[in-house]
Amino acid sequence: MNEWSERTLRLVREHNYLDRLQEIYPHEEGERDVNQALIDAIRESFDARNDNALLNKLLDLEKFPYKDSYVAFLRKDRGAIERNPQTVRRICSRLYEMGLEGIISGITQSKEANTRRGQQFPMWAKDRFRWVDVGSFRRSIKGVVMLDATEKEAMRFCNNEMGVGIAKRPDMVAKSGNKYVIGEAKFLSSTGGNQDRAFEDGITLATNTQGYAFKVFILDGVHWIYTGSGQFKRIEHGTAAIFSALLLEEYFPQVPQ
């Protein structure tokens, strides 16, 4: 196991890991806000059993009350509502069965935690490190800087100047002294599904041997306590630098120069 993974295990098992982690990944309820005027309009259409008006109002919202594979099409082509009365009738029948309270509950449902967390690491990193453009990033030889660039610019820099051969921008593109460090940063609250894919993205980058940048997987969450899982065993029996975001500031000065 990499020494930084060992440090993370000690942090998780012996210290106030969760208390400290909330500095980086604060808990958010994430309930969607729908203004009262729109709720009143939905109620009016619902009470009048006006299918088209009800559907149009709900399609204006970020969250439809329930999952339906035809909703995305109707969002893009509102004219299809008039042309497809059977589909509209089917969808609205389900809505009436849910009742008005069920509809309101559905449209205000909290966002998935992992969706909300996507920007929490970079927001924390912006407060901790200096962010610079590509030119300043390339010239920097002292301290720690983070690359402030578009996804395409960052990916091009990683591939053309670091030679790492990646298909998407890493969550972190940094430089410590004259050494480049790139990594994925994930807070995973469970296993399975998208969480497994996120873990795979992180460990794939951390074990990438192409180019000359240091690669890390900044991992937080339940994988540090699921010690019998196949994913933990990949950490345990590997040499990749996989560690908590809480150790990132300690890691940078120790990148070999």
Structure confidence at residue 29 (pLDDT): 59
210-242 pLDDT tens trace: 999 999 999 999 999 888 888 999 999 999 999
Reading the block at residue 196, the tokens are 């497994």
What's 22's DSSP letter? T
Residues 6+ apart with CB under 8 A from 207: 215, 238, 240
| Triad 126, 194, 207: Cα angle to 5° | 65
Distance CA 180, CA 201 (A): 19
Domain boundaries in the chain? 3-26+115-254, 36-107
Which residues make Cβ contacts (< 8 Å) with residue 22, sequence separation at least 6?
none
Kindly indicate the confidence band of residue 193, based on its pLDDT and cuts at 50, 70 and 90: confident
User: Taking Cα atoms as reference points, which of 162, 192, 193 lies closest to residue 183?
Assistant: 162
The answer to whether the pTM exceeds 0.85 is no
pLDDT tens by residue, 242-251 = 999 999 999 9
| pLDDT at residue 32, as a whole number | 72
Q: How far is it, in rounded angstroms, from Cα 220 to Cα 142?
A: 28
Who contacts 96 (Cβ-Cβ below 8 Å, separation ≥6)?
Answer: 46, 49
**Looking at residue 66, what is its pLDDT?**
94
Average pLDDT, the chain: 91
